[in-house]
Structure 1
Amino acid sequence: MKGSIFGQIFGGHLIIILLLTLSFGLSISHLIESFSFDLLKRHLKNLAYGLRPQVQGLILRGDYGTLNSLARKVGETTGVRITIIDPQGVVLADSEEDPAFMENHGDRPEVIMAMAGRVGSSLRWSATLKEEMLYVAIPMKLTEGVAVLRTSFFLRDVNQFLGAFKKRVTAVAVALGLFSLIYAFFSSKRLSDPIKELVQATSRVAQGDFDARVLPKGRGELGELAERFNEMAAKLKELFQENLQRKEELERIFSSLEDGLLVLDREGKVILFNKKAQEILKGKELSDRSFWEIGDPAFRETISRVRKTEGNLTEELEISGGVFLLSATYLATTGQILVLLHDITHLKRMQELKRDLVANVSHELRTPLTAIKGFLEAFEDEDSREARSHYLEIIKKHVDRLTNIVQDLLVLSELEDKKTKLDLEDVDLKALLQEVLRPFEEKVKKKGLSLKVDFDPGLPPIKADPFRLQQAFFNLIDNAVKYTEQGEIRISTRGKAGHVEIEVADTGIGIPEEHLPRIFERFYVVDKSRSRRLGGTGLGLSIVKHIVLLQGGEIDVESTPGVGTRFRVRLPL
């Protein structure tokens, strides 16, 4: 009960009821006691005043015998003790004792007051009778002074009456107190139960249970409070659902962003980030981590500058092997920093490729053009028919090279055009490869090479563009023939789960391992002098890869210098 609303309410009622019950009992007892004594005093005083004329006459006549008889007779009749005292305090008559043996009463409080001319009263122990008594004394004027007529009453009967009355008052007070306690208990419970239920419902709402409701009890303030609470809980649920929905929408937006996004608080700790930012900064858990603990040194230094200047900043950074455009915005109102990481690695590589392409095209075109110009000048200065014929052959060779470069560039441009569409049809790979091999049969014989084919007889037709496939396999076989001086060239097909694999292998010079990742790039050649001598443009393998990818296939290469090269093309069935 300690600390509970019921305990506080009932405890307050209990204290008030106890105080009121005690006060009631004491007040009633005191009131009755005062009333009883006042009534008794009035009775004693009236009795004294009624006897005074007779007593005064007897004293003046000196008839003390009759006076004593009168005192005893009145005492026996009324049950009141009668005592008559002269101005010197000597007892002249007494209804209970022999006056001759009684001590002087001049020092008694009620006697002193009566001799002073007032009605005296006293509640005290009687030294003569050894009992507690109530005394009332009145003055009687005599010729020699003021005598005193004192009436007194034994308090044992009064005390018995007051004791019984106090018991009854106590019983009534206890009964009223118990009834009040019972009423206070149920009243407190009726008041505290709805509050307790409201507290429990509030606790449930605080823990996230917005379906908590309170049953209104009655039409008073508590009932209205319960109704307002239910309305509040329903509104909170609605607002929570809206905020949750907005949060989920923001999280979906953040997660779907291609750019890395994170927010730093005033202390530089991450309070919000998306998955892309986590990937870029290589952090398993970014939440609540300082920017000094994440990212590359360049990233940390840039964020530090933004915090110092409290301004906005945009610059390119290399982070985790990629190039990113970092945009940092300082939010002056909150001291937070919004960081956006836009991946421009591909753009940078495209720019590099563009520069390389321009440089390579310029170089590849300039070389034959320079040679053509030189041999044309030599042709003009030469009179020998045989020498002129030789110059013309060289010029023709360089013109053919220029033509091949331009044709390959046009083919590559066409393949990279997003508008390019394939003319798909059923293609018999065996027939297509045999047609592609036909122009190379004579070259293979001249070089003394062995041409082997191994076609899977159960291979079904595939959906493909036959013209583009011919271009791709022509370039692969052409390279195999060019770079193989002895041994064999082997063409094979195999049907596998969901696709067909075409392999073009040779026993030529091979490709060093460090060159393999770049052989499909434009104008990339391993041995430039050999490539020019053999008429290569550096675009063939790039064309092959584009065609294979357009067909929805894959291509990879394995090569060992001095052993040979193996290209595998996988096309969907």
Structure 2
Amino acid sequence: MLLRAINRSIFRRLLFGYLLTVLLGLGVVGIVISFLAKGYIYDSTQNELLRKAKKVNLAIQDGNAADASMESLLLFFDQTFDARIWIFDRNGSIIATSTKDEVFIGKSVAVSIARKVAAGESAVSELAVEGLSQPMLSVAVPWGKDDRIYGGIVLHSPVNGIQETVSQIRETILWGTLIGVLLTTAMVSYLSWSISRPLQAIDRAASEIGMGNYAKRIEIDSTDEIGDLAQTINSMAGKLEQTERERSKAEQIRTDFLANVSHELRTPLTAMQGFLEALQDGLIDEERRQPYYDIMMQETLHMNRLLDDITMLDKLKNGEIRLAPHPVDVRSFLQSVELKFGTIASSKRLELHVDCPDGLPPIHADYDRLEQIISNVVGNAIKFTERGSVRIGARREGAFVVFVVADTGIGIAPADREFIWDRFFKADRGRAKNQKGTGLGLAIVKELVELHGGTIGVESEPDRGATFTIRFPAVRSEGVSA
């Protein structure tokens, strides 16, 4: 509603502003043109009358008295010039005219005109002489030859004709103004529509964005300021949408984290509480207590590992873990891994194969963190493999040395692959529920690998095992770790 009121206000301001501008502009131009046209017409008529009056004087300057010959000439010039002609003497009395029916001979012109003509000057005025039915635009020139002045010659034409011409000009200007107002109204209406329509779209989109629909976008193709505003709002909505997704994701991670921590701690605490209550109540004989003590110790160690993993992962996220990298010989390192996990694999009747070709360059890594990474991946491979084998290999790919850990275990479902790096996520929980773990191992592994400047990936299918590929930067300098 507010924007609609603004649009109406914009429309009114545009309409009245343009109309006022057009009216004032055309009005001023019309007035100026009408005055200039009137002056031009008067001046042109006066100059033409003066020229014609001088021609009449040339025709009658040889005689100083009114006779039949003069009246014939005056009648001829009246019809030729379409102008009334009077001849008056030095006293201003009219002695001859071209139209006796309008002015009677013996009448007089204005004294000022007679004196001016007698002095040899021309005079221009609007005469109102007795006998004339309407005012006339008149010119008076001396009548005579050389220095002899017999009187004056007056030529005049009706003022009404000039005024009608000026009126027609003003009427034309008025019609032009009206047409201009109509065109301006149409133009302002279109302009207002072209402005208000995208503003209304922006208003609707802004309302939806304000209500939480951050996916809403404004579809405006214009490249003017309104288009820039729409693009800015779209950009803002995109950032809000991204922020909302990140907030929701962070909230979900926090919720899952609390739920998982609570679950991971509640299980051993519940078991320990039950055993302690049984021991406290004397329900367990002295010779049978040792296994219960062992279980409580294992659960305590499990909680300690959980807290240690959480603390380490938080330090990795906050950048508080510092590496001490140096060249590590790949062959020697894999031999130590084989020695460490050989017995564990044999106890599960699994084959452990280690393949390391000659000539591999050393890698630039923190030895303890590298051992933690590989041990976690190899330990998971043995844990989730019931029969078959686990293979550990290394090869060179450009500037990297690639570790490959492949097993023939239960594998990872396609829907779970992208989540195995998340905290507390345990792939295929149904089939691996007998396997204990914090669900933080791979999350820590990924952070440590990326801290080394490497990458880690996995390829797997259910019941066909999993293959983890870990890349570490190789070093060119010679050096081997102890």
Tell me the equivalent position of 1:376. Answer: 276
Answer with 1 or 2: which has the greater Rg.
1
Q: CA deviation at 1:289?
A: 6.0
Q: CA deviation at 1:434?
A: 2.8
1:268-326: per-residue Cα shift (whole Å, max 9, x none)? Answer: 626xxxxxxxxxxxxxxxxx96676xxxxxxx5x716xxxxxxxx95544638xxxxxx
Structure 1 residue runs of 5 or longer lacking an equivalent are 1-10, 42-119, 122-164, 166-264, 271-287, 293-299, 305-312, 321-336
1:53-74: per-residue Cα shift (whole Å, max 9, x none)? Answer: xxxxxxxxxxxxxxxxxxxxxx
For residue 500 of structure 1, give the secondary structure of its aligned residue in structure 2.
Answer: strand
Tell me the equivalent position of 1:319. Answer: 215
The CA distance in 2 between the partners of 1:454 and 1:22, in whole Å, is 121
Residues 377 and 562 (structure 1 numbering): CA distance in 2 closer, same or farther, change over 3 Å? same
1:37-67: per-residue Cα shift (whole Å, max 9, x none)? Answer: 22898xxxxxxxxxxxxxxxxxxxxxxxxxx
Tell me the equivalent position of 2:63. Answer: 37
Q: CA deviation at 1:543?
A: 0.7
Q: Identity rate of aligned residues, in percent?
A: 32
The CA distance in 2 between the partners of 1:532 and 1:393, in whole Å, is 21
Q: CA deviation at 1:509?
A: 0.8
The CA distance in 2 between the partners of 1:18 and 1:454, in whole Å, is 116
TM-score, length basis structure 2 = 0.53
1:337-382: per-residue Cα shift (whole Å, max 9, x none)? Answer: 9784322321221122112111111110110011012122333424
Q: CA deviation at 1:521?
A: 1.1
> Contact conserved, 2:338 with 2:354, CA < 8 A, in 1?
no
Alignment of 1:100-499 (within 5 A): 267=196, 269=198, 300=205, 303=207, 316-317=212-213, 319=215, 340-341=236-237, 342=240, 343-380=243-280, 381-382=282-283, 384-499=285-400
Please tell me the residue identity of whatever aligns with 2:353. Answer: K
- What is the aligned-residue RMSD (CA, Å)? 3.8
Tell me the equivalent position of 1:558. Answer: 459
- Which residue of the other structure, out of 524, 542, 545, is the alignment partner of 2:425? 524
The CA distance in 2 between the partners of 1:572 and 1:387, in whole Å, is 54
For residue 489 of structure 1, give the secondary structure of its aligned residue in structure 2.
Answer: strand
The CA distance in 1 between the partners of 2:233 and 2:407, in whole Å, is 56
The CA distance in 2 between the partners of 1:435 and 1:269, in whole Å, is 70
The CA distance in 2 between the partners of 1:459 and 1:355, in whole Å, is 45
> Contact conserved, 1:433 with 1:473, CA < 8 A, in 2?
no
> Contact conserved, 1:368 with 1:398, CA < 8 A, in 2?
yes
Length, aligned pairs only: 296
Range 28-37 or range 456-465, more displaced: 456-465
> Contact conserved, 1:452 with 1:490, CA < 8 A, in 2?
yes
Q: CA deviation at 1:402?
A: 1.6
> Contact conserved, 2:278 with 2:284, CA < 8 A, in 1?
no
Residues 459 and 24 (structure 1 numbering): CA distance in 2 closer, same or farther, change over 3 Å? farther
The CA distance in 1 between the partners of 2:303 and 2:334, in whole Å, is 28
Q: CA deviation at 1:482?
A: 0.5
The CA distance in 1 between the partners of 2:275 and 2:430, in whole Å, is 20
> Contact conserved, 1:423 with 1:465, CA < 8 A, in 2?
yes
Residues 21 and 382 (structure 1 numbering): CA distance in 2 closer, same or farther, change over 3 Å? closer
The CA distance in 2 between the partners of 1:465 and 1:449, in whole Å, is 29
For residue 479 of structure 1, give the secondary structure of its aligned residue in structure 2.
Answer: helix
The CA distance in 2 between the partners of 1:22 and 1:412, in whole Å, is 108
1:525-557: per-residue Cα shift (whole Å, max 9, x none)? Answer: 135476564331111111111111212222221
Residues 497 and 36 (structure 1 numbering): CA distance in 2 closer, same or farther, change over 3 Å? farther
The CA distance in 1 between the partners of 2:46 and 2:394, in whole Å, is 111
Tell me the equivalent position of 1:75. Answer: none
1:192-240: per-residue Cα shift (whole Å, max 9, x none)? Answer: xxxxxxxxxxxxxxxxxxxxxxxxxxxxxxxxxxxxxxxxxxxxxxxxx
Please tell me the residue identity of whatever aligns with 1:351. Answer: E
For residue 426 of structure 1, give the secondary structure of its aligned residue in structure 2.
Answer: strand
> Contact conserved, 2:455 with 2:471, CA < 8 A, in 1?
yes
For residue 37 of structure 1, give the secondary structure of its aligned residue in structure 2.
Answer: coil
Please tell me the residue identity of whatever aligns with 1:303. Answer: S
For residue 62 of structure 2, give the secondary structure of its aligned residue in structure 1.
Answer: helix
The CA distance in 2 between the partners of 1:541 and 1:401, in whole Å, is 17
TM-score, length basis structure 1 = 0.45
For residue 423 of structure 1, give the secondary structure of its aligned residue in structure 2.
Answer: coil
Please tell me the residue identity of whatever aligns with 1:348. Answer: S
Structure 2 residue runs of 5 or longer lacking an equivalent are 1-36, 68-94, 97-144, 146-193, 217-231, 475-482
The CA distance in 2 between the partners of 1:371 and 1:528, in whole Å, is 21
The CA distance in 2 between the partners of 1:544 and 1:477, in whole Å, is 12
For residue 401 of structure 2, give the secondary structure of its aligned residue in structure 1.
Answer: strand
Residues 398 and 528 (structure 1 numbering): CA distance in 2 closer, same or farther, change over 3 Å? farther
Please tell me the residue identity of whatever aligns with 2:471. Answer: R
Residues 532 and 406 (structure 1 numbering): CA distance in 2 closer, same or farther, change over 3 Å? farther
Please tell me the residue identity of whatever aligns with 1:36. Answer: D
The CA distance in 2 between the partners of 1:351 and 1:508, in whole Å, is 34
Please tell me the residue identity of whatever aligns with 2:252. Answer: E
For residue 38 of structure 1, give the secondary structure of its aligned residue in structure 2.
Answer: coil
1:156-191: per-residue Cα shift (whole Å, max 9, x none)? Answer: xxxxxxxxx9xxxxxxxxxxxxxxxxxxxxxxxxxx
1:404-428: per-residue Cα shift (whole Å, max 9, x none)? Answer: 2122222212212223322222222
Residues 319 and 19 (structure 1 numbering): CA distance in 2 closer, same or farther, change over 3 Å? closer
The CA distance in 1 between the partners of 2:323 and 2:355, in whole Å, is 28
Please tell me the residue identity of whatever aligns with 1:34. Answer: I
- Which residue of the other structure, out of 493, 502, 510, is the alignment partner of 2:403? 502
The CA distance in 1 between the partners of 2:284 and 2:45, in whole Å, is 145
1:423-459: per-residue Cα shift (whole Å, max 9, x none)? Answer: 2222223333332332211011122222222324333
